[in-house]
Chain A
Amino acid sequence: MSENLKVPTMASYLAEGKQPEVLFWVGCAGSFDDRAKKITKAFVKILNNTNVDFAVLGTEEGCTGDPAKRAGNEFLFQMQAMTNIEVLNGYEVKKIVTACPHCFNTIKNEYPSLGGNYEVVHHTQFLKQLLNEGRLKVEGGKFKGKRITYHDPCYLGRANGEYEAPRDLLRKLEVELVEMKSCKSKGLCCGAGGAQMFKDAEKGDKEVNIHRTEQAVDVKPDVIAAGCPFCNTMMTDGVKNKEKQDDIAVLDVVEMIANAEDL
Chain B
Amino acid sequence: MLEYLPQILFLIVLVGAFLFFIKNVSSLKRNINLGKEIDRSDRKDQRLKKMLRVALGQSKMVARPIAGILHIIVYVGFVIINIEVLEIIIDGIAGTHRIFGFLGPVYDFLIGSFEILAFLVLASVIIFWIRRNMMNIKRFLSKELKGWPKNDANYILYFEVVLMVLFLTMNATDYQLQLLGASHYASEAGITGSFPISQYLLPLFDKMSVESLVIIERTAWWLHIVGILIFLNYLYYSKHLHILLAFPNVYFSKLDDLGKFKNLDAVTKEVKMMMDPDADPYAEPEGSDDDIPEKFGASDVQDLSWFQLLSAYTCTECGRCTSECPANQTGKKLSPRKIMMDTRDRLEEVGQKLNNKEEITADNQLLDNYISREELWACTTCNACVDACPIGIDPLSIIMDMRQYLVMEESAAPVELNNAMSNIENNSAPWPYNQQDRLDWAKEEA
Contact = CB atoms under 8 A, between A and B. Distances in A.
B400 interface: yes
Residue with the highest number of chain B CB atoms closer than 10 Å, among A56, A62, A65, A195: A195
Contacts of B443: 1-2
A202 B271 contact: no
A194 interface: yes
A154 B396 CA distance: 14
Contact of B387 (A71, A185, A192): A185
A129 interface: no
B141 to A, nearest CB: 15
Contacts of B332: 201-204
Nearest to B404: A72
Interface string A148-171: 000000110011110000000000
A73 B413 contact: yes
A189 B382 contact: yes
A110 B260 CA distance: 6
A200 B261 CA distance: 24
Interface string B411-446: 001101101110011001111010111111111111
Residue with the highest number of chain B CB atoms closer than 10 Å, among A73, A110, A159: A73
Interface stretch (B40-48, B86-94, B114-122, B371-379): B371-379
A204 B257 contact: no
Contacts of B270: 75
B151 interface: no
Nearest to B332: A204
Given A72-B413, A109-B257, A154-B382, A41 B446 contact: yes
B331 A188 contact: no
Interface string A45-84: 1000000000010110111010111111111101110110
A189 B428 contact: no
Contacts of B405: 72
A32 B431 contact: yes
Contact of A186 (B271, B331, B384): B384
Contact of A74 (B330, B374, B404, B416): B404
A132 interface: no
B288 to A, nearest CB: 22
A196 B441 contact: no
Given A82-B275, A159-B258, A189-B380, A198 B430 contact: yes
A113 B259 contact: no
Nearest to B429: A28
Interface stretch (A92-100, A206-214, A238-246): A206-214
Nearest to A196: B380
Interface stretch (B165-173, B237-245, B321-329): B321-329
Nearest to B420: A198
Contacts of A186: 324, 384, 387
A73 B275 CA distance: 17
Closest A-B pairs by Cβ, 7 of them: A159-B259, A205-B331, A72-B403, A194-B381, A62-B428, A109-B260, A204-B331
Nearest to B377: A202
Nearest to B259: A159
Residue with the highest number of chain A CB atoms closer than 10 Å, among B258, B374, B387, B436: B258
Interface stretch (A3-11, A13-21, A138-146, A247-255): A3-11
B291 to A, nearest CB: 16
A158 B384 CA distance: 8
Given A76-B421, A114-B268, A189 B258 contact: no
A128 B313 CA distance: 44
B280 interface: no
A127 interface: no
9 contacts: A26-B441, A63-B424, A67-B430, A78-B267, A86-B275, A110-B260, A159-B383, A188-B329, A204-B327
B367 interface: no
B446 to A, nearest CB: 5
A147 interface: no
Contacts of B377: 199, 202
B56 interface: no
A142 B425 CA distance: 43
Residue with the highest number of chain B CB atoms closer than 10 Å, among A56, A59, A203, A205: A59
Contacts of A7: 439, 442
Contacts of A113: 263
B77 interface: no
A37 interface: yes
